[in-house]
Chain A
Amino acid sequence: MADVMNSHATTSEVHGHRALQHHFENMEQQREAGTLGMWVFLVTEIMFFGGMFLAYTLYRSKYPAAFASASNHLDITLGAVNTGVLILSSFTMAMAVYFTQMGKRRPQILCLIATLVLGLTFLGVKAKEYHDKYEDRLIPGYLIPGAHFDPKVQEEGQPPDHHKLHLLPGATKPQVEMFYWIYFAMTGMHALHMIIGAGLLTFLLIFSIKGRFDPEYHSPVEVIGLYWHFVDIVWIFLFPLLYLLGRHLEHG
């Protein structure tokens, strides 16, 4: 049966909420500090990914044909599905915060579980994509011993083989390798952040089940929600930049 209001709330008037830390005057100050802290951390994340977006922008402007060719070889369906999955997970995360604010523990826990499951789904799809790249020998350089970068190129007059790279005029294999280096660096870093997010969600889930959060104290849910939304935003940019950039040239 869902608790609507945590009974601890009534004792807060007497000697402070049980979650109030000693160096803060009140829960409001603590909550504001926590939120500001996460926002400042997200600034560091923005600058962190920014370096990679810079490299992408530079080399895409230099090698448009190669980047388009390489991008077209990515699976747009899996990419779009993953985008939808992440957006849905952002929605369920926002709802989890909402239910915590309202003191509705059962829906809160369900939303957290949904978010976690969706996040893991994203990672699973990503793993499948990475495996496909491995099969097509598109892992850059000598990262995988014994399977260095060596994709087969689609030749004129041969039957279309979607395992082979179709090079647009002006594209070269080294430049395509440049794209995939950036692709793996950016999506890999993004996936790492998703894994960390999944870990954080697991903690949230455990504490939620134990009843640690209530309408007066739920800063961790809110703050981890901010992190999760940020990871979603990174993907909102990664998807068109990596998957969609050359589709309009596909049949040209």
Chain B
Amino acid sequence: MRPIEYYEPPVPSKVNYINAQYGLKSWLLTKDHKRIALLYLGSITFFFFIGGLYALMIRLELLTPQGDFLQSATYNKVFTQHGIIMIFFFLIPSIPATLGNFLVPMMIGAKDLAFPRINLLSWYIYLLGGVVTIYALLAGGVDTGWTFYTPFSTTFSNSYVVATGLGIFINGFSSILTGLNFIVTIHTMRAPGMTWFRLPLFIWSHYATSLIMILGTPVIAITILLLAFERVSRVGIFDPKLGGDPILFQHLFWFYSHPAVYIMILPSMGVISELIANFSRKNIFGYSFVAFSSLAIAVFGFLVWGHHLFVTSQSVYAGMIFSFLSFAVAIPSAIKVFNWTATLYKSSISYDTPMLYALGFIGLFTIGGMTGLFLASLAVDVHLSDTYFVVAHFHYIMVGGALMGYLGGLHYWWPKITGRMYPEGWGRFSALVIFVGFNLTFLPQFVAGYLGMPRRYHAYPPEFQVFNVLSTAGASILGFGMLIPAIYFVWSMRYGRHAEANPWHLPGLEWRTQSPPPTENFEVTPIVTWEAYEFAPPEETEVIGKFKPELEQI
């Protein structure tokens, strides 16, 4: 069967998953993965803005060398809460809970995830965790850093450690249930003919992400509980008074929190694979390498956590092992970057908004990844640890990498999700503004950090001011750039051009049903006989044009 590039359902139905049922109850008690994805989209955006507000306060304080905007105790709470909200309530769920929930069943040809009610439960758990955390923030906040290092968090901090920890603990279950759902769905509910190596790379990366969620999250769950138990009973396993070791906390904490960064980047890499292939109309170069590298990142990511403990009392021998493994974990990521680049070579690239984000990702992720190697070198890390170099490194990956992928994916699948197109001109404009703003914010931080500016300080020596001023200027541009899509996405839901089933003319399974999809995704269960990313040669594309095939009964 020839891949169909332009598809129109024979009798386009007016009924889709959005208008199939009306009323608040039909949304709050839905079992439809697509509706749940939208519920997540709303809540995640809300938390992103809260995290962004904290970022604004940080950048305002750091405009001047003196601590004149916030007191140091308050500043501690601001950067702590910025980290907690952004990591646990935005980055970790972002792509899996919105794009993943929406697309995983569609891309494999299923009607829903394996456990729809557990999917809905995961959203409510996410909300509960969020409510508990927000309560803690409003009641007085937490000042330990998002890393909750002992003994400050167990013994000396006077802030709402237990409450915040509880919020994060609850949120972890949301993550676990999402991962569980994805793994079981991908194993048991693929449509006939959808073999593992015909799966879109988006699915591979979400499968790998789910592995990390399942294997890692429980460890931070127990670590938070142990921390809370110690705080409440005033003694514990991290307490030298009983012969305990505070560094044990760091081992347990980072056992999850390092793989967590791969939870944040892998789904984004999956999006990028989709964007690169589809917007250059060429099959991904080295499909199986990219697929296996996702699994490799998931596995290797669990072997490197000690690189966060290089400057602690951790043994230098363990440091050498972790340093070596940290270099090794860069390899599968590099393999992906090479394969994406090879895909672009001699392809027909269309510079639509999603592609702009994908191209931005490749450059920014490479910078972020390579600066990670500096930090993985033991001796260099002694100099760079706890400086702004580290801050710049992880923001390049999490914002320049993960966030770019999220925005690119949102734009790419927006017509499928909402049935509306966003305004392309504004899309490209805001992508460029975000790119410029982002680099202006974080590039100076590499320099400042290398020259010695410490992180988590609200006041600094005057020689670092020029970098901070550049950084804050960049942050304002970045903030402005991100407001634009927020506005036009909402605008498009009412006034955007209606999108047809396959507005980008692409072969993926999700494009072979109407936009927005019906509740059951496909009128007939597809039987897959084509490989992933099978594009017709350019000559045939012209001939196909407005070709409307008969829908073969299968």
Contact = CB atoms under 8 A, between A and B. Distances in A.
B226 A48 contact: no
B114 to A, nearest CB: 4
A155 B370 CA distance: 62
A47 B226 contact: no
B278 interface: no
A33 B113 CA distance: 10
A14 interface: no
Nearest to B519: A22
Nearest to A176: B242
Interface stretch (A50-58, A76-84, A96-104): A50-58
A136 to B, nearest CB: 17
Interface residues of B, number: 44
Contacts of A48: 218-219, 221-222
Interface stretch (B11-19, B42-50, B232-240, B338-346): B232-240
B188 A23 contact: no
B222 A175 contact: no
Contact of B218 (A45, A140, A175): A45
Interface residues of A, number: 40
A33 B114 contact: yes
A24 B189 CA distance: 8
A177 interface: yes
Contacts of B229: 181, 185
Contact of A44 (B116, B214, B248): B214
Given A43-B215, A48-B221, A51-B226, A178 B184 contact: no
A144 B125 CA distance: 30
Contacts of A182: 237
A1 interface: no
Interface string A24-57: 1000010011001100110111111111101100
Interface string A184-201: 010001000000000000
Given A181-B236, A181-B242, A51 B183 contact: no
Contacts of B243: 59, 62-63, 174-175, 178
Contacts of A33: 114-115, 184-185, 188-189
A2 interface: no
Given A54-B252, A178-B237, A181-B233, A40 B183 contact: yes
A220 to B, nearest CB: 13
Contacts of B218: 44-48, 50-51
Contact of A40 (B110, B112, B214, B226): B214
Interface in B490-548: 520
B176 interface: yes
Contacts of A142: 233-235
Nearest to A52: B222
Nearest to A179: B242
Nearest to A185: B229
Interface string B109-129: 011111110100000000000
A58 B248 contact: yes
Query: Most chain-A CB neighbours within 10 Å: which of B115, B118, B216?
Result: B115
Nearest to A173: B242
A22 B232 contact: no
B223 interface: yes
Given A43-B215, A47-B219, A174 B241 contact: yes
Nearest to A39: B184
A162 B554 CA distance: 77
Contacts of B234: 141-142
Nearest to B238: A55
A44 B233 contact: no
Contacts of A228: none
B66 to A, nearest CB: 41
A33 B235 CA distance: 43
A22 B525 CA distance: 13
Interface in A63-84: 63
Given A40-B214, A58-B248, A23 B112 contact: yes
A139 to B, nearest CB: 8
B244 interface: yes
Interface string B81-119: 000000000000000000000000000001111111010
Interface in B182-234: 183-185, 187-189, 214-219, 221-223, 225-226, 229, 232-234
A149 interface: yes
B180 A41 contact: yes
Given A51-B222, A175-B242, A40 B236 contact: no
A99 to B, nearest CB: 27
Contact of A29 (B113, B188, B237, B252): B188
B188 A51 contact: no
A103 B481 CA distance: 64
A185 B242 contact: no
Contacts of A51: 218-219, 222-223, 226, 252
Contacts of B187: 36
Contacts of B248: 55, 58
A49 B225 CA distance: 12
A148 B54 CA distance: 40
A226 B187 CA distance: 20
21 contacts: A22-B520, A23-B116, A24-B189, A33-B114, A37-B115, A40-B214, A43-B215, A44-B215, A44-B218, A46-B218, A47-B215, A47-B219, A48-B219, A48-B221, A51-B218, A51-B219, A52-B222, A141-B233, A141-B236, A181-B229, A189-B222
Given A47-B215, A141-B235, 16 more contacts: A23-B110, A23-B116, A33-B188, A36-B183, A37-B114, A37-B115, A40-B180, A41-B176, A44-B215, A49-B222, A141-B233, A141-B234, A143-B232, A175-B242, A182-B237, A185-B226
Closest A-B pairs by Cβ, 10 of them: A141-B233, A141-B235, A48-B218, A51-B222, A23-B112, A143-B233, A47-B218, A23-B111, A178-B242, A44-B218
